[in-house]
Chain A
Amino acid sequence: DQQVKQNSPSLSVQEGRISILNCDYTNSMFDYFLWYKKYPAEGPTFLISISSIKDKNEDGRFTVFLNKSAKHLSLHIVPSQPGDSAVYFCAASGAADSWGKFQFGAGTQVVVTP
């Protein structure tokens, strides 16, 4: 039962443009969401998070938007840089779960072209 879905397996974007990655979830008990970035042969690296009490969180070039009614979140990267080429995972957790037990999406491969 896939509770976190990233329906776009890949995204190609030109350097300098905006990258928009989408994530949908089905469990209304989820109240905390994270984005991770992963390079080949490395572990995922935490990027940005958002709590369900907010609808936006910004950190430099990265902004995450949360739409609770639609059970949808998105990650915006602006401007996109070649070093942003990686796989991005969306993850969700609920207070009812033990802390640290995250459900991950399948990931979106981002390729930033010159």
Chain B
Amino acid sequence: GAGVSQTPSNKVTEKGKYVELRCDPISGHTALYWYRQSLGQGPEFLIYFQGTGAADDSGLPNDRFFAVRPEGSVSTLKIQRTERGDSAVYLCASSLTRDTRDGYTFGSGTRLTVV
């Protein structure tokens, strides 16, 4: 597609459940990023992939969060045992290379609500 696609756009889940959020980057983009935006805050870095490998996962808040990108394209962010504090908009972005000096392209995000 022309842009970064994230599905679902909205997800409501019960506390304690497992969720998966999907990101389809722009075709050919080798770098992929996940950010989380809580209400009234700016995006917060979670993890960065270069190809299939997680080059930097220092932003993942705890071991309930995990992300994969097995074929170097689509990525899935997985959250186990969800908590109400996980409610946020999860943003995915991609760029052609790891040099993001011209900014990267964000998707519209997945709004996760944990009830």
B residues near A, CB below 8 A? 4, 31, 33, 35, 40-45, 48, 55-56, 58-59, 91, 93, 95, 98-109
Stretch at the interface among A13-21, A62-70, A72-80, A96-104: A96-104
Pairs across A and B, CB under 8 Å, 17 listed? A32-B101, A34-B103, A36-B106, A43-B105, A43-B109, A49-B101, A49-B103, A89-B42, A89-B43, A93-B100, A98-B55, A100-B48, A100-B95, A101-B56, A104-B42, A106-B41, A106-B42
Select A43's contact among B4, B59, B98, B99, beta carbons within 8 Å. Answer: B4
Q: B107 — which chain A residues lie within 8 A by C-beta?
A: 43
Roughly how many angstroms separate A51 CA and B102 CA in the complex, as a whole number?
11
A-B contact count (CB 8 A): 69
The interface size of chain A toward B, counting residues with CB under 8 Å, comes to 28
Roughly how many angstroms separate A32 CA and B102 CA in the complex, as a whole number?
10
Roughly how many angstroms separate A105 CA and B31 CA in the complex, as a whole number?
22
Docked-complex contact A98 and B98, CB < 8 angstroms: yes
Q: A107 — which chain B residues lie within 8 A by C-beta?
A: 41-42
